[in-house]
Each structure stands twice: as C-alpha cells, then as structure tokens.
Amino acid sequence: MKRVAVFVLVDSALALASWSVSADVVPSVEAPLFGMWNRLNANVEHEVMHFWVEGSTWAGRYDKHPEPGLGFPDPPEGTSGDFRGADATNFVCEPTFPFYPCQNVVKVVEGTTQYKPPRGSPFEVLERHIVVREANGQEVMWQYWVRPGNLICPWYRSFDEALAAKPFRPNGDCIVPVQRSRSNPQPPQPAASAATVAAQHGGIPAGSPSKSSSAARSRDERFLALLATPEGHAQLLKEGKLQLRRHYPDLAKQLHLTAEQEDQVLSVEAEQTLKDEARRARCRLDPSCNVQSLPIDLESQQKAIKELLGAEKFDEYERYQQTLYQRLEVRELRSRLDVANVLSDEKAEALIAALYEEGERYAAEAKAMGRQSLWFSSGGLRAAYDGTRDPPLDAEVLSSAQEFARRVRDRAAEVLTAEQMRKFEEIQEEQLAQVSAVLRSQADWRASGQ
C-alpha cells in the first residue's frame, strides 16, 4: 500500500496532519513564490511567469520571452495568461510527484489561470504552484495542472537553470499523468475569482487602484531605476555577459576569437538585451502598450555585431547561433559517452552540421507540400502535419516525428561509431516518448471540452 502524506500549510510552514484547517494568511513579498520563474517548453519557447501580491491574494502573469539568439521561433507564439489564487490550506502529496514525500515543499498556492491564445477562445486551468527548496538552496516551482491536463512541470528562477536542467529527459521534466491516490480521487473545485477572494479577505480586487497593486509594477520599476545609474548599468551588463557565456560556452573556440574579441561580442549582445528588456519594461508600465505588439528590428540589432566581426566572421556567428540547439543535443550525447568512446571535436562539428541540415531540409520539404512544421524539445525533434486540420491528428504528428527521427539517425550513422550511435538513439527514444506524452496531454485537454 502506498502512503499518502497530507500536509497542512500555515504561513509557509509544513506540518504533517490528517485534517484541514482554515488559514487567513496574507502572503508577503518575501514568500517563496514571489517574483519571476522560467521554463523551456515543448515548442522551444522561453515561458515566463511573474507572481506578486494584490491585497490578500496572489496574482500572476504568464508570458513568453523571445530568444532569437537560441534559434527559437521569433516572435514566440502569443499565448498569455493571468493567474489569481490564494495560499492553499491543504494539499495531498501524491507519490508520483517528483519531490515526494514533499519534506522540502515551502509554499503551495492554488488558483486559476485564464490562458488567452492568439487564435481561439480563452480557457481556464485549475493550477497549484508548489515551491520546493532543495538542501543546496535551489528553488524549483512545480506547476501542477490539476484540471484539465493532470500534469506537473518544473519552473526555475533563471532561464539558465531551465536550460541546464536538460528538459525532456524522463526524470527531468513533466510528469504526465499524475497518478492521484485513492484518498484524493477528485481534484478540488477551482479557486474563487480574484474579486471574491479579495472580498473574503478584505483585500482589493485585481485592477483596482491601491497601494498593494504597485507590487505588480515594482519589478519593472526597479529594473529601470537600476539601469539608469552607471553602477546599476554596469552590474546588469556584467550579469548579462555571464548569462551569455553559459549560452555560448565554446563561442571563442568555434569562431577563432581572441579573449578580447569574445568579450566585445558578449558586451554588444548584453547591451542589446538590456535595451530590449528596458523597452518591454516601459511598455508593461504603460497601460496603453501591448508587449506582444512591439516590433522587432533584427537588422539594427545585428548591425553592431556585424561591424565588430566583419561580414565573413558575422556569417560564422549567425551559423553558430542557428545551430545552438543541435550543439545542446551533441553536448548531451558527449556527456553520456565514456572515455573509450569520446566524440572528437571534428566529429562533433560534423554531427552538428548533419543534424541542422536535415532539420532544414525536412522543414523545406514540409513547406513545399503545404504542410505545417512543429519543433519539439531541446533536441530539435521535428514533425509535420496537414495544415488544414485544426487541431492536427495526433497519430499523424507522432508518425511524422518518428520518420524525422529515422532520417536524423541515418545522418548520424554517417558520423558516429556503433557505441556512440547507441547513446544517440537512447536520447532520441526519450525525445519521442516525450512527444507522445505531450500529444496525450493535449488530447486530454481537448476531451475535457475546455
């Protein structure tokens, strides 16, 4: 028999108990959920959630950040969302949770997110946001889609952490479905609306002017104030360069740059990133501005780098950026190989080129046939489907992903040894299993009628 732990949450502390209690706790800005969380999703997009406090309720905003330097779709798909909820008074620690038995859980917030896709009708999801603080101090926020969906996925404090977590490994990303224990057969009812919860706790509904509503603007205001000072600008620039170094660990080696040239490139990129973030922050502070509608001037963004590197070297730089996902996949492969089967730098570059070329060829063929392309996971697994169907047939998408995987294996076999191929195929099977899980989850959502 599996044991099921039922926790009662009072002021962010956990106590093991077998009953529910009522808690009227006003969350503070120091609460573990507060602030920004990041995720790399299945469609290769940088998802962001911001959480803040409005009166006695939790509020949140779901959005996506463009990542053109990583080869992500630019602009990203435009779904946004708004969360309203409150501290959970109790929850069941399911044995299938990745952090079971939940001894490191420090916060659980429960509520509803209304998602607004660019096409189609808005829909609501009952969610629990569960913050887990590990012994080393790292915090992970597990977003539990209770209904519809029945899945749980990790979010991280920084996008670097999200990338480093190697999403779409069996033990590293979403759990679909969450097997609920018999003691918790039915998910709880959705949390009350923000206005209802605020009224019950004597707070102010979302959108009403109040001192506490300024918390929603504080992050952008703090960022712009810091950026406006020489010391703050230097600090933000340094942080941006450190982040870029993690994204481009072998940039100098691949482009044959000196340390000074590499630092100059990273400085220009980080400066451009700060300008873009400042523009988005000012837009978010302006009620009449829509971040999704901000134009992207790629030519101006690239001009400074081109002037710094020269035309020929800039082409190499663009090629490096275009192949970042293939580089991540090859880096993953190299990490799984033992000393006897090391993949040389020359072979690694040949494999990166083969993976990228096959992906581009596949996408071009799909476009020529009037088919839509999908790009799954950090490994760059692709699929194509009949664009006249909305939504596409799951069987068609899965079959297409399997066919693309076969084509990629054929290309990889031209470069890799038998043992290296075995590890490469192992990674591919993991990616295909995750595609199947994503499709199954989407089918569950459609079946729910929401």
Residues 351-405: tens digit of each pLDDT: 999 998 998 898 888 888 888 766 664 456 777 777 666 566 778 888 888 999 9
Based on the domain organization, do 431 and 290 belong to the same domain? Answer: no
Based on the domain organization, do 42 and 84 belong to the same domain? Answer: yes
Based on the domain organization, do 246 and 298 belong to the same domain? Answer: yes
* Residue 32: domain span: 5-210
Alpha helix segments (H runs only) across 248-344: 251-255, 259-285, 298-309, 311-322, 324-336
Is the pLDDT score of 172 beyond 80? no
* Residue predicted with more confidence, 136 or 311: 311
Based on the domain organization, do 20 and 166 belong to the same domain? Answer: yes
* CA atoms of 325 and 346, how far apart (whole Å): 18
Q: Are 104 and 130 in contact (CB under 8 A)?
A: no
Task: Quote the distance between the C-alpha of residue 206 and its chain's center.
Answer: 26
Based on the domain organization, do 288 and 393 belong to the same domain? Answer: no
Based on the domain organization, do 314 and 405 belong to the same domain? Answer: no
SS3 of residue 37 by DSSP: strand
Based on the domain organization, do 300 and 355 belong to the same domain? Answer: no
What's the burial of 428, exposed, middle or buried (CB within 10 Å: 0-12/13-18/19+)? buried
Strand partners, 80: 116
Based on the domain organization, do 231 and 199 belong to the same domain? Answer: no
Tell me the range of 26-35, 107-116, 179-188 where mean pLDDT is highest: 107-116
* CA atoms of 282 and 399, how far apart (whole Å): 45
- Cis-peptide, bond into residue 187, ω within 30° of zero: no
Based on the domain organization, do 131 and 15 belong to the same domain? Answer: yes
Mean pLDDT to the nearest integer, 265-283: 85
Based on the domain organization, do 205 and 225 belong to the same domain? Answer: no
pTM above 0.75, yes or no: no
| Structural domain includes residue 332 | no
- Which of 261, 289, 321 terminates a domain? The answer is 321
Q: Which two tokens stand for residue 285?
A: 């502070």
Identify the pLDDT of residue 267: 92
* CA atoms of 80 and 50, how far apart (whole Å): 12
Rg of the chain over CA atoms, in angstroms? 23
* CA atoms of 136 and 310, how far apart (whole Å): 44
| Structural domain includes residue 42 | yes
- Which of 210, 231, 263 terminates a domain? The answer is 210
The one-letter amino acid code at 15 reads A
Based on the domain organization, do 133 and 281 belong to the same domain? Answer: no
Task: Quote the distance between the C-alpha of residue 258 and its chain's center.
Answer: 33
Task: Quote the distance between the C-alpha of residue 428 and its chain's center.
Answer: 20
H or E stretch covering 413? helix 394-413
Based on the domain organization, do 167 and 228 belong to the same domain? Answer: no
| Structural domain includes residue 326 | no
- pLDDT confidence tier of residue 22, bands split at 50, 70 and 90: very low
| Structural domain includes residue 331 | no
* CA atoms of 283 and 272, how far apart (whole Å): 17
Q: Of 293, 187, 221, 286, whose CA–CA distance to 52 is shortest?
A: 221
- Which of 210, 228, 249 terminates a domain? The answer is 210
| Structural domain includes residue 121 | yes
Q: Which residues does 159 contact at the CB level (< 8 Å), separation at least 6?
A: 38, 40, 46, 65, 67, 243
| Structural domain includes residue 53 | yes
Identify the pLDDT of residue 3: 39
| Structural domain includes residue 330 | no
Please count the structural domains in the chain: 3
* CA atoms of 27 and 322, how far apart (whole Å): 43
Is the pLDDT score of 277 beyond 70? yes
| Structural domain includes residue 110 | yes
